[in-house]
């Protein structure tokens, strides 16, 4: 189960990284249109760029969630135990 969670966490992080890093080129490939130049007076351009920004933020959130899932399911290193003469166990 730990391996499955690590794999899913890595996959989600990679998808998030792809969305966050490649949102503008992905928009151009998927829609077949070129992104308009971001001019404040052009309402259509601002709407498109705000959508791209939303996708990038969503990708960053996915990346963070995937990284946390991947890191939280890492193997915990085994600690050695030494018994003292009075048989109390000390982890080292």
19 Cβ contact list (under 8 Å, min separation 6): 26, 55, 56, 58, 59, 62
And the tokens for 41?
Answer: 């007076």
Is 45:37 a contact under the CB 8 Å cutoff? Answer: yes
What residues pair up with 89 in beta bridges, in sequence order?
Answer: 83
Please report, in tens digits, the pLDDT of each residue of the chain (92 residues total). Answer: 778 888 999 999 999 998 888 888 878 888 888 888 888 899 988 988 888 899 899 999 999 999 999 888 877 777 666 655 665 555 65
| pTM of the shown model | 0.69
pLDDT at 29: 85
Residue entry with tokens 């992905």: 26
Please report the pLDDT score of residue 92 as a whole number. Answer: 57
Q: Give the distance, in angstroms, between the CA of residue 51 and the centroid of all CA atoms in the same chain.
A: 19
């Amino acid at each position: 189960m730990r391996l499955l969670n690590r794999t899913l966490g890595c996959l989600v992080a990679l998808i998030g990284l792809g969305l966050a890093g490649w949102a503008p080129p992905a928009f151009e490939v998927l829609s077949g249109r070129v992104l308009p130049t971001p001019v404040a007076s052009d309402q259509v351009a601002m709407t498109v760029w705000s959508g791209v920004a939303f996708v990038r933020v969503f990708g960053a959130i996915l990346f963070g969630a995937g990284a946390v899932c991947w890191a939280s399911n890492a193997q915990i290193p085994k600690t050695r135990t030494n018994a003292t003469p009075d048989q109390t166990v000390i982890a080292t």
